Amino acid sequence: MILYSIISLGVIGVISAIILFFVAKKFNVVEDPRIDEVEEVLPAANCGGCGYPGCRNFAEEIVKAESVSGFYCPVGGNDVMAEVGKVMGLEVTAQKPLIAVIRCNGTKKNSPQKSIYDGIESCAVAHNLFAGEGGCSYGCLGLGDCVDACDFDAIHMDPETGLPVVNDKCTACGACVEACPRDIIELRHIGPKAKRIFVSCVNKEKGAKAVKNCKVACIGCGKCEKVCDFDAITIENNLAYIDYEKCKLCRKCVTVCPTNAIWEINFPLKKVKVDKVKRVEAKVEKEKKSENKTDN
């Protein structure tokens, strides 16, 4: 009796051992030492800006893919990516660095307040409740969800305008883009000498309605699209968009925009613009004078 037990148990043991041996072979995981090495050179911000849950995960995916194309750590930038390339023994093409831009210029002046919101300070909550104090249901609510989302102290509210402002601490992690319930923030090329041109408006209403609430809204007139020699501008749903890959920063569109919805940043002041201003001022003067005359 005992013999039977010993033999059967022994046989089961041997079979199990054989199965386990093969299973272990088949599912053997040798962790690639490069994962650790890649993680080492990453900034350990764990911000998720790369699109992965954390730096470790990002490293794992790079090693698994045996490639660095399509991977980019916005916080570390090109320097860190070059390091990663060294570890992986791969060539890394440098990417143009990005920065967050605020595509709304509905300041207190441009989009005067029509109602007072006294609810809690949260754009997400207010977005559910009403169009906004200025009446634009696309524009910035000014309650700073983006500011709260930034881990890098790169975005602040300007009390004067009521709009957020991004400074050069921005790592383009994209947290603010995610946080904004109105999709106002976009990551764009910093541009040579930090020069950028973009449409500072996201209002999709027809022109006449858009300007009712905000003087500087894009009215989708298409003048910029026509004047652009590089096919960089498209108009969709009454809203212009400038593709930063195609834009050559020629500034033509900026001058033709009737509502000044296109912004140019870090450019020297254009002469024509000054002329234009002067001409307008002269005209106003003239009108004033003639008014005075009729008064007398």
Partner 1 sequence: MLKTFKLGGVHPPENKISREKSIEVLDLPKKAFIPVGQVLGAPSVPLVKRGDMVKVGQLIAKGEAFISANIHSSVSGKVFKIDDIVDSSGFRKKTIIIDVDGDEWEEGIDTSNEIIRDISLSKAEIIERIKASGIVGLGGATFPSHVKLMVPKGKKAEVLIINGVECEPYLTSDHRLMLEKTEELLIGTKILMKGLAVDKAIVGIENNKADAIEKLTKVAKDYAGITILPLKVKYPQGGEKQLIKAAINREVPSGALPIEVGAVVNNVGTTYAVYEAVQKNKPLVERIVTLTGKSLEETANFLVRIGTPISNLLESKNGLPEDTAKVISGGPMMGKTLTTIDAAVVKGTSGVLLIPEKESKRIESSTCIRCGKCVSVCPMGLEPHLLEKLVQIEDWEETQKNNVMDCIECGSCVYTCPSYRPLLDYIRLGKSKVGEIIRSRKK
* Cβ at position 214, least distance to partner 1 in Å: 13
Q: Which does 150 bind (CB under 5 to 8 A by kind): ligand SF4, partner 1, none?
A: ligand SF4
Q: Which does 223 bind (CB under 5 to 8 A by kind): ligand SF4, partner 1, none?
A: ligand SF4
Q: Using CB under 6 A, which of 41, 87, 134, 182 touches ligand SF4? A: 182
List of residues contacting partner 1 (CB under 8 A): 114-115, 118-120, 122, 124-125, 128-131, 135, 137, 205, 209
CA atoms within 13 A on the CB side of 208: 0
Q: Which does 55 bind (CB under 5 to 8 A by kind): ligand SF4, partner 1, none?
A: none
Beta carbons within 10 angstroms of residue 41's beta carbon? 20
| Strand partners for 100 | 187
Q: Which does 115 bind (CB under 5 to 8 A by kind): ligand SF4, partner 1, none?
A: partner 1
3-state secondary structure (DSSP) of residue 240: strand
Q: φ, ψ for residue 142 (rounded to 5)?
A: 70, 20
Q: Using CB under 6 A, which of 184, 202, 228, 254 touches ligand SF4? A: 184
Q: Report whether 114 contacts 212 (CB < 8 A).
A: no
* Cβ at position 127, least distance to ligand SF4 in Å: 7
Q: Which helix (H) or strand (E) holds 242?
A: strand 239-242
Measure the CA–CA gap between 188 and 9, rounded to whole angstroms: 68
* Cβ at position 139, least distance to partner 1 in Å: 13
Structure tokens at 234: 């498209």
Instruction: Match 């699109």 to its residue by tokens.
Output: 51
Contact partners, residue 92, CB within 8 Å, separation at least 6: 68, 78, 81, 82, 84, 85
Q: Which does 131 bind (CB under 5 to 8 A by kind): partner 1, ligand SF4, none?
A: partner 1
Beta carbons within 10 angstroms of residue 121's beta carbon? 13
Q: Which does 130 bind (CB under 5 to 8 A by kind): ligand SF4, partner 1, none?
A: partner 1
Contact partners, residue 124, CB within 8 Å, separation at least 6: 145, 181
Binding mask 134-173 for ligand SF4 (x = CB under 6 A): ------xxxxxxx--xx-x-xx--------x-x---xxxx
* Cβ at position 128, least distance to partner 1 in Å: 5
Given the complex with partner 1, which of 114 and 278 has the nearer CB atom?
A: 114
Angle at 131 between CA 129 and CA 134, to 5 degrees: 130
* Chain contacts with ligand SF4 (rule: CB under 6 A): 100, 102, 123, 140-146, 149-150, 152, 154-155, 164, 166, 170-176, 179-180, 182, 184-185, 199, 218-224, 235, 240, 256-257, 259, 261-262
